[in-house]
Amino acid sequence: MAKELEKIYDPKQVEERIYQDWLDKKYFHAEVNPQKEPFTIVIPPPNITGQLHMGHALDNTIQDIIIRWKRMQGYETLWQPGTDHAAIATEVKIVKALAEQGIDKDTLGREGFMEHAWKWKEEYGGIIVSQLKKLGTSCDWDRERFTLDEGCSDAVLDVFVQYYEKGYIYKGAKMINWCPVCQTTISEAEVEHEEMQGHFWHIKYPIVGEDGFVEIATTRPETLLGDTAVAVHPDDERYAHLIGKNVVLPIVNREIPIIADTYVDKDFGTGCVKITPAHDPNDFEVGERHNLEKINVMHDDGTINEQGGKYAGMDRYDARKALVKDLDENDYLVKVEDHTHNVGLHDRCNTVVEPLIKSQWFLKMEELSKPAIEAYKSGDLKFVPERYGKVYMNWLENIHDWCISRQLWWGHRIPAYYCDDCGATTISKKHPTVCSHCQSNHIRQDEDSLDTWFSSALWPFSTLGWPEKTPELEYFYPTNVLVTGYDIIFFWVIRMVFSGLEFTGKLPFDTVVMHGLVRDSEGRKMSKSLGNGIDPLEVIESYGADALRLTLISGNAPGNDMRYYQERVEANRNFGNKLWNASRFIMMNLDDKKVEEPSVEALTPADRWILSKVNTLTKDVTDTLDKYDLGIAVSKLYDFVWEEFCDWYIEMVKPRLYNDDDSTKNSALWTLKTVLIDCLKLLHPFMPFITEEIFLTLQDEEPSIMISNWPVFKTKWHFEKEETDISMIKEAVRGIRNLRANMNVPPSKKAKVFVVSEDPAVVQTFEDGRVFFATLGYASEVLIQHHKIDIDEDAVSVIIPNATIYMPFSELVDIEKEIERLENEVIKLEKELARVSGKLNNQGFVAKAPEKVITEEREKQSKYEQMLTQTKERLESLKQ
């Protein structure tokens, strides 16, 4: 009894079973194998707090496509998985969970908190991994890593000590991003800029010794308390005479200088800018150039400190209101303008970030960035698409020292130890028992932890065992491709590049494939606030993982954002059903028959055509995958499977399948099975589940499609003549179908088809393809002629290169019935046109109806007029 596919493909019944089978058989697992060339991808480690969203789904689908393709090409493929401890995101969640139990973080203390944190991680940290498995990701889960595991932690401490000993790490007071709620520094990657409605407050700063004043405009009036200068452009003639003079800081009554600096845009606003070096990164730079005092007026929790005078103790926004009121009452406030501007928010708690000067640990970037720049300039590091190389270079050439410390407990604690007796600092990978300077045992470790990105910067080599010289590191490193979203190119990609070069002497990867964001159908970024997020797991539950994967890749060009449409998921589910039904049809006809590979001579032109087409498809798909243009690759596959294979070839061979006496039946069955297997293999990286289920049912030669051989171009399958001949027949059939459709002739109505051509080669082509016209062209009989003989004068025709196709009009249409139908159609259209025209001629309707409704009615009127004209012309033609 032949194996059969279920009548209907049900992803729920297939996907979990197949995935577990892959896991059981260790198909994802990679080993050091000198007999094979390695191919390695490291997963961008998702946060342990994370839930699978569309960005994850896209990112991991791209990686899975690449790794499955390379696995089938014969590489020893390692897709290294793991998760990130995500310091701030995780600590915020743990603190919230503790608070719900009535537990205070500070009361617990660091050790107590860390115990709870690890328990939380064990309970919730694996959720996203299980969700990634639902997507079909073929990571080597036996090698799963975590940025806080023992090996990765050892690498982090090793790197910190090495950087410090080389003079790259230092501690100093500089401008950083500060979150008043989480009370920690945060990286640029954790600041989301959101457009908000605010104000410009225009304020008078009286000039000392004169009656006049300068006018400044600010969006943050509370920072006025920390102003230490007013700046103007050195070339601004309006203020040249004031440079060097002082102004009085309103309300505070402190004198501050007027300075000249090119930072000021003299054409923007009043041309005068207040300078607050302790609360603005640009002002900080101005302050450094002019040796200005830096006055911090804010506590860590966002309240005003003692430098704020009467406003001390107030929240920053309460202080703003109070200060503006005082400015107004004391005649310092000129005006208030509405102003829309971008505001930096902490992405974890949605708090407005405050720029502050803090004593933090920094990594010097000037020297470290040079090899990373050279790697791109030399061509060793490539970006797909190439335009992101310019973004990479722009960031590196304008790089600042990296603030690597965070005021958190969950993370890698900074290995700095302070002596309470001599005040010296000891940097050590292991916890020292005494001060390395004075031998005192009164030492304590720095309370801060390292930025999460510090550990993930080491991900490509720390996950393979570095700093130990493991066989895996030797074999699988450098990795080959990094796949990531364009939004973290600066923060992660660059840090991995300079870290890899610094500690291994090698680039961590040679190619970076960038993808865009998944937006909603209106082009908006998916977010909780808009409520427009789509849960990938719900899509998988309804349509299956393959339909979602195909949707995320179809029409997706590298580096570009894509829009998510539910209709596309449904269309891709339908594509899967089309493939399933075609496979069922082929298997039912095979019915356990042992088909043998025929000789080339035994293949019909149609067989040679489809073999040649799938051969070209193999080359095209492989070439586009080599360029990481996955969207184009899957588009070629989709079109071939749906149109060339299912809609054309299968229909072409049906007469041969249904005729046991046809000597070419074996060739047809062999070709069907062979082409289907190649299609399944080419589709497998994109649609892993359905292709595996069909493949295992269709054949017994290979145990799994995912470890089968990737198709390659075969010279013996290149049939140029047959491709040309069948294209000609397809063009003729299309012409027949279009003509019949325009005449509303149903497929059940058969008609003679005359093919007329003076070209012997064309005649022979149609003789060989005669059988196709019965099923594809709805022909009752096919007559092929060198000249037009015995063809009715009223025959309708289709012209193709070097031939004309004729069909007798009387065989296509029952003229009496068609006249009757058209006369009824005229009556119906005249009624519709009168109804619409009546509305539009009604002044009351036109005056009250919305413009959209009126436009729709006018479009209907135009449509009915056109249809009526065409119908009357057709009717008149028939009557004649």
Half-sphere exposure of 443 (CA within 13 A, CB side): 22
- The 3-state secondary structure of 429-497, one letter per residue: CCCCCCCCCCCCCCEEECCCEECHHHHHCCHHHHCCCCCCCCHHHHHHCCCCEEEEEHHHHHHHHHHHH
Please give the Cα distance from 318 to 599 (Å, whole number): 88
**Peptide bond preceding 598 in cis form (omega within 30 of 0):** no
Please give the Cα distance from 333 to 841 (Å, whole number): 59
Please give the Cα distance from 275 to 221 (Å, whole number): 12
- Reduce the DSSP state of residue 693 to 3 states and report it: helix
Task: Find the DSSP H helices in 743-792.
Answer: 760-768, 770-776
Please give the Cα distance from 125 to 837 (Å, whole number): 66
C-beta separation of 458 from 84 below 8 A: no
Please give the Cα distance from 280 to 224 (Å, whole number): 11
Please give the Cα distance from 270 to 364 (Å, whole number): 37
- State in Å, rounded, how far the first CA of the chain is from the last one: 62
Which residue type is seen at 64?
D
Please give the Cα distance from 347 to 192 (Å, whole number): 6
Half-sphere exposure of 594 (CA within 13 A, CB side): 1
Residue 93 sits at φ, ψ, to 5 deg, of: -65, -40
Q: Which distant-in-sequence residues (6+ apart) come within 8 Å of 110 by Cβ?
A: 409, 447
Tell me 352's DSSP state.
B
Scan for tokens 């845009």, then name that residue: 265
The angle at the Cα of 665, spanning 659 to 669, to the nearest 5 degrees, equals 125
Q: In whole angstroms, what separates CA 798 from the centre of its chain? A: 46
Please give the Cα distance from 880 to 877 (Å, whole number): 5
Which residue type is seen at 406?
R
Read off the tokens for 564. 């998510």
C-beta separation of 390 from 486 below 8 A: no
- Of 670, 651, 660, 658, the closest CA to residue 772 belongs to 651
Strand partners, 186: 177
**Has 613 been labeled as part of a binding site?**
no
Please give the Cα distance from 84 to 592 (Å, whole number): 51
Identify the burial level of 10 via C-beta atoms within 10 angstroms of its C-beta, where 0-12 means exposed, 13-18 middle and 19 or more buried. Answer: exposed
**Peptide bond preceding 371 in cis form (omega within 30 of 0):** no
Please give the Cα distance from 680 to 690 (Å, whole number): 9
Report CA-CA distances (Å) from 114 to 106, 121, 405: 12, 10, 18
Strand partners, 485: 515
Report CA dihedral (767, 771, 773, 774) to the nearest 10 degrees. 140
As a 3-state breakdown, the chain gives helix, strand, coil percent values, each rounded to 5, of: 50, 20, 35
C-beta separation of 430 from 389 below 8 A: no
- Of 669, 561, 540, 679, the closest CA to residue 617 belongs to 679
Q: Which distant-in-sequence residues (6+ apart) come within 8 Å of 377 by Cβ?
A: none
Identify the burial level of 432 via C-beta atoms within 10 angstroms of its C-beta, where 0-12 means exposed, 13-18 middle and 19 or more buried. Answer: middle
* Binding site residue list: 528
**Binding site residue list for ATP:** 528
